[in-house]
Structure 1
């Protein structure tokens, strides 16, 4: 799939956008895997475990309902701790907020900072809804009225899948909120 074929959702996410120096290049796949900070790797791995491990649990009696509640409470504790660890990775010097994102690109307001078309950046995407964060590389592909569009250039496939799940979850919440607004009118 090309970056333009992914569904884009308008939603604010915290970003760190660090421009690469002129002599700095996007790493190859092996270098990239080694470079990913441990909290980002852990967050991605835990998000993937969450999405696959509890689905097969059958909730057909009182015992499994109690077990389900306990597992959800433990998951909430882990996610709260993970969110705190990830928040420590948010460097205020490079902090921006997305206006929209997809599994192929993100857009953000540059706050009058200077970016250039074809400029490569190191990108951190913080996803509190999933207690996750993504470390990747991107390139500036468009600038329109201070809104910068970044297309991901080097991203792990499992992180792209996390972005797909996140856009679907956020879109679902937005659609439910709109339906509730229409119902209350």
Structure 2
């Protein structure tokens, strides 16, 4: 599957985006792997372990296993809370943004200043479900005045001083891409449940 085939969802994730100098290239594969901070590696491995544990626990069905499942679930919740707190310390407020859309191949966010097309950026994404943080690189592939796509100049709700920036991942671990797919699916499933609930209420 090529990158553009991954779907994106509208959701707000906390991200850090650090544009590099215009002439600075992304690191190659080996340098990128060595550069990833240890905490981000731990977060990725914990999320993978959580997924495998969930699959294992789904095979338990007897009444005797309910107490064990409850206990393991409580321990997992504690670990996730601790992990989320530790990862939050990696968030740099000076380069913090919130995604408009995200997926396993690209993301978009609103910037107060325009960014140069083709410029590379160092990115950190902080996921809520599953709780994790992703370290990667991306290339700026689009930057437009926010709201200009609507074609309606009478829409005063759009702040023309901001810019909608689209980034395409250029260095991203495959395990982290899987995390982004899971996170996007979680958002999509949540939206579907909310729509179903709204229909039943009406």
Alignment of 1:1-185 (within 5 A): 1-57=1-57, 58-110=59-111, 112-145=112-145, 146-185=163-202
Q: After the TM superposition, which of the residue ranges 121-130 and 18-27 deviates more from structure 2?
A: 18-27
The structural deviation recorded for 1:23 is 4.6
The structural deviation recorded for 1:60 is 2.1
How far, CA to CA, are the matches of 2:110 and 2:101 in structure 1?
10
How far, CA to CA, are the matches of 1:2 and 1:113 in structure 2?
30
Q: After superposition, give the CA deviation of every residue in 1:106-164 in whole Å (9 maximum; x if it has no partner).
A: 00011x22311101000001001211010000000011221100000000000001111
How far, CA to CA, are the matches of 2:13 and 2:78 in structure 1?
22
Runs (5+) with no aligned partner, structure 2: 146-162
How far, CA to CA, are the matches of 1:89 and 1:23 in structure 2?
26
| Equivalence for 2:156 | none
Q: Secondary structure, in 3 states, of the residue corresponding to 2:56?
A: coil
RMSD of aligned residue pairs (Cα, Å): 1.1
Q: Secondary structure, in 3 states, of the residue corresponding to 1:137?
A: strand
How far, CA to CA, are the matches of 2:22 and 2:143 in structure 1?
20
How far, CA to CA, are the matches of 1:78 and 1:17 in structure 2?
27
TM-score, normalised by the number of residues in structure 2? 0.88
Q: After the TM superposition, which of the residue ranges 56-65 and 152-161 deviates more from structure 2?
A: 56-65
How far, CA to CA, are the matches of 1:30 and 1:138 in structure 2?
16
- Structure number with bigger Rg: 2
TM-score, normalised by the number of residues in structure 1? 0.95
How far, CA to CA, are the matches of 1:124 and 1:56 in structure 2?
30
Q: Secondary structure, in 3 states, of the residue corresponding to 2:67?
A: helix
Q: Secondary structure, in 3 states, of the residue corresponding to 1:43?
A: helix
Q: Secondary structure, in 3 states, of the residue corresponding to 2:135?
A: strand
